[in-house]
Structure 1
Amino acid sequence: MHETKQERRIRQLVELLHRKEKMHLKEAAKALTVSEMTLRRDLIEPHAGLSVIGGYIINNQRHEDDFTYCLREQHESHVREKAEMGKCAAGLIKPNDTVFFDNGTTVVHIIHAIDDNIPFTGVCFSLNVFLALKNKPNCSPILCGGGFDPQCNHFYPISENNELDDLRIDIMFASAAGVDGRLGVTCYALTEIPYKRQALRQSQSVVLVVDSSKLGVVRKAVVCQLPAIDQVICDVSLPAEWRAMLGTDEQRGAR
């Protein structure tokens, strides 16, 4: 039977994602020399274990658990909230700032919202975040390397020295898998901790960007306590006791 153009594209996508759990839609479209909209139409319904979630093509068969998590994170209402928070956070970046971007889907929304005319240095340790940064025309991206955690798609240091050592950061945009008034900011994986904590120490301003689904949630890996955060950008107002821990300065409250 003759292979249709759509079937050929899907076969090529399967080959591209053979050893990957996901690929940025823009990267896939460039590899196949078609538009992103064409691939979105191809995958309106999942084909060959592939689906479009947010801005990524997901290989469902490779990491079923990761796919379930990604579906939850990319729920439509949360995407809208994260996009709004991303715009608010991006407005804090000044020309020629050095900015550390944590991992997570919320951080990618910040990068998308940055004015393409603003020159800045973007520092990260997540492969997905790096792919977003390299598409900003006036960004000088720095990817912190080391060992690679394939489940979380990020790098972690394996020696005493790393790319962050010689950097002083103007703004750190921190993410979280959980935020609790007593137990602080937490994340899923212990491999996330080293770069996050080093960036916290070397940043002039730490901005936590988190949606309300993470409030009151505690994950296993501790990043920091709330007093280490200078400002919180959220889609709801924080509880009064958390505001007290952050301080009384209006700029340090929820936005």
Structure 2
Amino acid sequence: MAKSKAKTSLEEEHSDADSKQPMKAEERRQQILSMVQSQKTVQLDHLAKELGVSRMTVHRDLDLLESRGLLRKERGGATAESSLLFESNFHFRSQTDESIKKELAQAAAELVEPGSAIMLDDSTTTLMMCDHLEQIENITVITNSLAVCERLRGSSNVQLIVTGGNYSDTHKSFSGLICEQALSQLRSDWVFMSASSVIDNRLFHQDQEIVRVKRALMAASERKALLLTSRKFKTRALTQFADLTEFDKVFIDRQLDEATKQRLNHSRIDFDLV
């Protein structure tokens, strides 16, 4: 009987040890990414404690995730928030101001007429337009966005043209020479796009490759529409790609502060509050 009890005790101890096996490296990095995206900013010490690993291990994981463009490493931790040089990854951006983006997208989609050709950039705001485009007959959608392609590929009313080029998982889109050359050979009635930042009536983005694509989209379109959440007037990015005056329609959500409204009106920027 004593041997049986001892055996049972050993089996339980072995079972507990198995249950405490450390998670695989890629699983750990996915958990780090989930924590950063849900909390926006996470301290390194907190990550090490939650995951049961050393600070050095967390450092290495953060370096790798940053190299993939999935987060931004900062002193003492990591953040999903954008900066001058870093744009938040697609998944994080798609969950930010989602209801506001849907309202902007609905207003912008009203400009699209049956039988027209339009261009959509790779922003998460213009992606929201896809829900409304499926209800408009016989339209052509040209895009560098894989996310738009995935959303519209089964729509019988949409002729879908995807530029191709160098693929970025951070943006879920294509850029580069192939993309720009494809756009130079096409023409659309409208282009719909967004920006990472608005500074003194000028539009900015962190990635110079994306900037080149946005300029190519604008050059290939008869008319231009811009969709902006009011948050974009409080953020910063590195490279200018356009001025607000270059757009025929500008849609901004109603949370825009009064001082910015007055400045836009003083600059004679025509914009619609949605």
TM range, normalised to the smaller chain?
Answer: 0.5 to 0.7
TM-score in terms of structure 2 length: 0.62
Q: Counterparts of 2:182 and 2:138 in 1: how far apart (Å)?
A: 20
2:207 — aligned with what? 189
Conserved? CA contact 2:123–2:193, under 8 Å: no
2:265 — aligned with what? 243
Show structure 1 runs of 4+ deviating over 3 A.
46-51, 61-64, 66-72, 243-248, 252-255
Query: What SS is found at the alignment partner of 2:265?
Result: helix
Correspondence 1:155-166 to 2 at 5 A: 155-158=174-177, 162-166=181-185
Write 1 or 2 for the structure with the bigger share of helix.
Answer: 2
Conserved? CA contact 1:246–1:253, under 8 Å: no
Q: Counterparts of 1:187 and 1:170 in 2: how far apart (Å)?
A: 24
Out of 120, 127, 146, the residue aligned to residue 165 of structure 2 is 146
Conserved? CA contact 1:181–1:216, under 8 Å: no
Q: Of the two, which has the highest radius of gyration?
A: 2
The code of the aligned residue for 2:230 comes to S
2:156 — aligned with what? 137
Q: 2:247 matched to 1:221?
A: no
The code of the aligned residue for 2:188 comes to I
Q: Counterparts of 2:244 and 2:263 in 1: how far apart (Å)?
A: 11
2:3 — aligned with what? none
Out of 88, 96, 115, the residue aligned to residue 107 of structure 2 is 88
The code of the aligned residue for 1:73 comes to R
TM-score in terms of structure 1 length: 0.66
The code of the aligned residue for 1:65 comes to L
Correspondence 1:49-60 to 2 at 5 A: none
Q: Counterparts of 1:186 and 1:49 in 2: how far apart (Å)?
A: 26
Out of 62, 65, 81, the residue aligned to residue 71 of structure 2 is 65
The code of the aligned residue for 1:143 comes to V
Structure 1 residues 49 and 212, CA gap change in structure 2 (3 angstroms): closer
CA RMSD in angstroms comes to 3.3
